[in-house]
Amino acid sequence: LKQEIVGSVASLIRSADSKIENVCAQLYNQLSRFSVGRSKLCERNSSVQAILTMTKSDNEDTKMIAVRTCCNLFLDPGVRKSFIKWNGILAIENGLGKRQKDKETLNSSLKALYVCCDDNDFLLRCSQTSIPRQLFKILIDTSLSELEYLFV
């Protein structure tokens, strides 16, 4: 982290093919498991934009890893506000849309939504997305687990 790996990876993503992009997503995800890594990921616009770009990847695996990385950032009270300001809500919108393919990503997205519900900026940004509509779709889905119902 002291060698600015976060910024280097962000630069690499812009010119990467799908395999390199997937490795970058995995690296960012590993960093997001530690407090200092989450702080570094939210320090600069370039790294946040790189993560958000990967949530729109054509590679489904890369996309889901990036969404879960964003959820880790939302779950950390130390970086949550800055990640909200960077418009990280777009990652949750992508994560909720994957409820049939990846339950882990859905659950991570629901947890991230839950912990952010008391932030007015987050709620305002949320209202400007398809998230409210997606939550209603999730609620009427009869195949939800008990845990998923708790968060919706």
pLDDT for residue 101: 67
pTM confidence score: 0.85
- Count of residues for the chain? 152
Tell me: pLDDT of 76 over 90: yes
Mean pLDDT over the full length of the chain: 85
- Band (13; pLDDT cuts 50, 70, 90): confident
- Band (143; pLDDT cuts 50, 70, 90): low
Rounded Cα distance, 142 and 129, in Å: 24
Rounded Cα distance, 152 and 148, in Å: 6
Tell me: pLDDT of 94 over 50: yes
Tell me: pLDDT of 105 over 80: yes
Burial of residue 19 (number of CB atoms within 10 Å: 0-12, 13-18, 19+): exposed
Confirm if 52 and 88 have CB atoms less than 8 A apart.
yes
Burial of residue 114 (number of CB atoms within 10 Å: 0-12, 13-18, 19+): middle
